[in-house]
Amino acid sequence: MGKKLRTYLALIVASLSVLILVLTFNTTKVAAANYNTGDLLSNVEITDGKDSHGSGSNVGMTFDWDATGKNLQNGDVWTIELPGTLKVRDPGTNFPLLDDAGNEIGKVTLNSDNTITVEFTDIEGKDDYSGSINIQTGLGVGKDAKPGDNNVNFPTIDGDKDLNLNVSVSDDNISKKGSMGYDADGNPVINWTILVNRNELDLKTLNVHDTITDKNLQYVPGSVNVYTAHWTSPGYYKKDDLLSTPKDYTITEKNDGFDLSILNPGSQFYAVTLQTKITDPANASNGTKFRNKANMDWTADGNGSTGEEDASGSVTADGNNSGNGDGSLKGSVILEKYNAQNDSVLLENAVYDLYNSKGEIVKSNLITDQYGQINVTGLSAGDYYFKEVTPPTGFQPNNNEIHFSITGQTTKPVMVAAKDEPDGVELGSLSIEKLDSDTQDHLQGAEFDIIDSNGKTVAHVTSDENGAAYVYNLPVGHYTIHETKAPAGHIIGEDIEIDITADNLTPAIISMENDLESGGDGTSSVTLQKFNSENGTVGVPGAEYTLYDINGIALTTVATDEDGFLKVDNVLPGTYYFLETKAPEGFGLNPDKIWFTVDNDGANIGTLVTSDDPTGSDKDGGDEEDGNEGNTDGDGDDGDGVIVDPGNPDTDNNGNVDVDEGENPMKPTPPYEGTGDSNDSATYLPQTGAEKGALISVIGLFLLTGVIYFKRRKA
């Protein structure tokens, strides 16, 4: 009986061992391998036959691959990283990878992180596979490319491969674009920019002509400015020096335009700006299309040849240029008066006059009430300022001008504040006004250090939505106003020095102007509106959004206005996303990227919409259809304006990592499904089995060996 029992047990153990071995070798999954660009790339070429490529054109390419000896497995992923001189224009595009017989063996996907991924899905058992991937649409000129010849480098199996990509800014030597705005008197205008000698021809003479033929427009005399400029990347330029007449150019103005001659142009590229007034303000928002045409003629240096070229521009009044409405709504303003020594004390019986931008009194003898307020209604669109006539009893007079703007787009009151120093305190204040040097628009977001005569920074202020910044409680002395951060898209202005004296404790308003840093060369506009999710009709002002291109490069930062609107003009064709980089007060920072694509036809894409829950809302969030609900800044505070540096977006103003921790908008996660983590190979070496499967195989083999040994010993 004992011998039979041992025999039965031996058979059972042997059977289990064989079963374990069968299961092991049939169920152990080989982990997917991840290959980098040069692991499989055998050759790459630009194959569209074009001698040069514009900034908005496709770059057709063919990628040859060779997997000889790699033993590719289903699920393996090959990632091709594009250099910065190229970009993925159409992320999410995918198509099948076919073998020579036309059989599908994988999928090719263009990704928003500027990569191409190839996922092999039916390739096992074919060691010597090779092939080609032909992509004629979906790739384009990258932001690192410069006009002219560019070296495009790819690692291959046989070493680096260098390609030449010739980039032309445009075949046109002149172009024209415009954007809507308002002048200092609140009149609707269009600001035009003419780019002249775009291809930097070597010229002897250069003339620019602009005649306004659109009956809906009126040329504004004296509005022309001429700048030297240079291309920073394809389709993007930077204005440099403002030229003067008659030293650098001559101009003859007419009622309907101008004729301009630039002296000694050489190969310089120029930006010429001008302004036209919309003759009927109602046309500023009813869909009217405004057209303008410019002309340049030249004589080439050296060969004496001549040329002439025209450019037409158009602007459509779509109602989104400055919020909504027709620009004719009457606005209102509330001024609040405080004790400069105690911000909790409101002052009554301060007397003010209200002026328009021309310095004319609109209303006089306005007196702060028991709540320290003056409320003025029925104001037409335009720029205004308050000026104190008589201070409250026991306080010093304040000569600061309190500026604000009425947009004509909303009836929501504009809020402004003013402060007075008590008698007997020799403390002064400064009032700073930040303006765009071309349009004279008020600029929000300029930051200033106020530095005393000893070099000590005594205050740091930021211009508000009215372009104004105020500094109080300054002792008598000499100060320097030093701009530390320019408004989005502008160049930092020069220092201004000012004295506060016992006879002049509140100097008149100090105007500081900024030049635009660069201009987009596109023709499209994009508008975003941010709503309070608890009330879908209430716009959220003061939210700062940074616009990133598809490669995660920060292009500009814009804040939502009082109706929750922001707008970016002159956007090139391509794929972009907005990301909130400063939360408004009472809201948390929203980590969701808002993606959009601008097509080649140059049409405006309309209005993007996002909404947020106020911090402290009881809403669960995160399940709403727009994908932007219920996001907080993550630190449990009251949401008082968390800020993210657009260039270092993982860190907020408290030094905390609060935005999609571990995700950097400079290297964004694609808005489409990915094909695996490129770091998987650090855990699973290519073509090796899982550790657990290997362990089971060893155990099974050990048991089988033990059984055989046991049987032989008992034999």
Residues 6+ apart with CB under 8 A from 24: 693, 696, 697, 700
Helix axes 2-27, 691-714, angle to 10 degrees: 160
* Per-residue model confidence as pLDDT tens digits over 622-633: 333 233 322 333
Give me the phi and psi of 687, to 5 degrees please. 65, 20
For residue 319, the one-letter residue type is: G
Residue 659: pLDDT band with limits 50, 70, 90: very low
d(CA 682, CA 705): 34
Q: What's the pLDDT score for residue 117? A: 94
Length of the chain: 715
Q: What's the pLDDT score for residue 443? A: 79
pLDDT higher than threshold 90 for residue 388: yes
**Which of 20-29, 105-114, 462-471 reaches the highest mean pLDDT?**
105-114
d(CA 310, CA 27): 71
Give me the phi and psi of 697, to 5 degrees please. -60, -45
* Per-residue model confidence as pLDDT tens digits over 64-97: 999 888 888 889 999 999 998 898 877 878 888 8
3-state secondary structure of 189: strand
DSSP labels for 352-386?
Answer: EEEEETTS-EEEEEEE--TTSEEEEEEEPSEEEEE
Q: What's the pLDDT score for residue 672? A: 28
Give me the phi and psi of 13, to 5 degrees please. -60, -40
Q: Do residues 558 and 569 touch, judged by C-beta distance below 8 A?
A: no
| Residues 415-444, mean pLDDT to the nearest whole number | 80
Q: What's the pLDDT score for residue 325? A: 32
3-state secondary structure of 206: strand
Strand order in the sheet with 148-156: 53-54, 159-168, 148-156
pLDDT higher than threshold 80 for residue 110: yes
CA 636 vs CA 304, 398, 616: distances in Å: 71, 41, 9
Q: Within its chain, how far is the Cα of 525 from the centroid?
A: 13
**Which of 318-322, 404-408, 420-424 reaches the highest mean pLDDT?**
420-424
Residue 16: pLDDT band with limits 50, 70, 90: low
Among 130-134, 552-556, 578-582, the least confident range: 552-556
| Residues 571-587, mean pLDDT to the nearest whole number | 82
| Residues 548-573, mean pLDDT to the nearest whole number | 78
In a 13 Å sphere around the CA of 241, the CA atoms on its Cβ side amount to 5
3-state secondary structure of 19: helix
d(CA 97, CA 535): 48
3-state secondary structure of 471: strand
pLDDT higher than threshold 70 for residue 510: yes
Tell me 222's DSSP state.
Answer: T
Comparing C-alpha atoms, which of 165, 168, 58, 195 is closest to residue 574? 58
* Per-residue model confidence as pLDDT tens digits over 473-483: 888 889 999 98
Beta-bridge mates of residue 161? 154
Residues 6+ apart with CB under 8 A from 173: 196, 197, 198, 199, 201, 296, 307, 309
d(CA 712, CA 557): 82
d(CA 612, CA 538): 11
CA 246 vs CA 54, 122, 203, 209: distances in Å: 36, 72, 19, 17
Do you find a cis peptide bond into 573, omega within 30 degrees of 0? no
Q: What's the pLDDT score for residue 42? A: 94
Comparing C-alpha atoms, which of 656, 597, 594, 673 is closest to residue 627? 594
- Please provide the average confidence, as pLDDT, over all residues in the chain: 76
Beta-bridge mates of residue 242? 227
Q: Do residues 192 and 292 touch, judged by C-beta distance below 8 A?
A: yes
Residues 6+ apart with CB under 8 A from 322: 180, 181, 182, 407, 409, 561, 565, 567
pLDDT higher than threshold 80 for residue 676: no
**Which of 46-50, 87-91, 212-216, 709-713 reaches the highest mean pLDDT?**
212-216
* Per-residue model confidence as pLDDT tens digits over 190-200: 889 899 988 78
Q: What's the pLDDT score for residue 8? A: 59
pLDDT higher than threshold 50 for residue 690: no
d(CA 66, CA 128): 8
Beta-bridge mates of residue 82? none
Q: What's the pLDDT score for residue 474? A: 86
pLDDT higher than threshold 80 for residue 251: yes
Q: What's the pLDDT score for residue 285? A: 75
3-state secondary structure of 560: coil
The alpha-carbon radius of gyration of the chain (Å, integer) is 33
pLDDT cut 70: percent of the chain above it: 72
Residues 6+ apart with CB under 8 A from 432: 448, 461, 463, 468, 469, 470, 471, 481, 509, 510, 512
| Residues 309-329, mean pLDDT to the nearest whole number | 55
pLDDT higher than threshold 90 for residue 645: no
Among 108-112, 357-361, 605-609, 701-705, the least confident range: 701-705
d(CA 591, CA 48): 39
Torsion of the alpha carbons at 561, 564, 569 and 572, rounded to the nearest 10: 140
The b-or-e profile of 152-172 (16+ CB within 10 A means b, else e) is: bebebbeeebebebebbbbee
d(CA 505, CA 427): 7
pLDDT higher than threshold 60 for residue 715: no
| Residues 136-145, mean pLDDT to the nearest whole number | 81
- How far apart, in Å, do the first and last CA atoms of the chain sit? 16
CA 210 vs CA 17, 311, 377, 542: distances in Å: 91, 10, 41, 38
Give me the phi and psi of 667, to 5 degrees please. -135, 75
Q: What is the pTM of this model?
A: 0.37
CB atoms within 10 A of CB 233: 20
* Dihedral-angle region of residue 471 (phi above 0 means left; psi in -120 to 50 means alpha; beta otherwise): beta
| Residues 238-260, mean pLDDT to the nearest whole number | 91
Q: Which long-range contacts (CB under 8 A, 24 or more apart) does 540-543 make?
A: 540/564, 540/584, 540/587, 540/612, 541/465, 541/584, 542/465, 542/582, 542/584, 542/585, 542/641, 543/580, 543/582, 543/583, 543/584, 543/587
The b-or-e profile of 516-545 (16+ CB within 10 A means b, else e) is: bbbbbbbbbbbbbbbbbbeeeeebbbbbbb
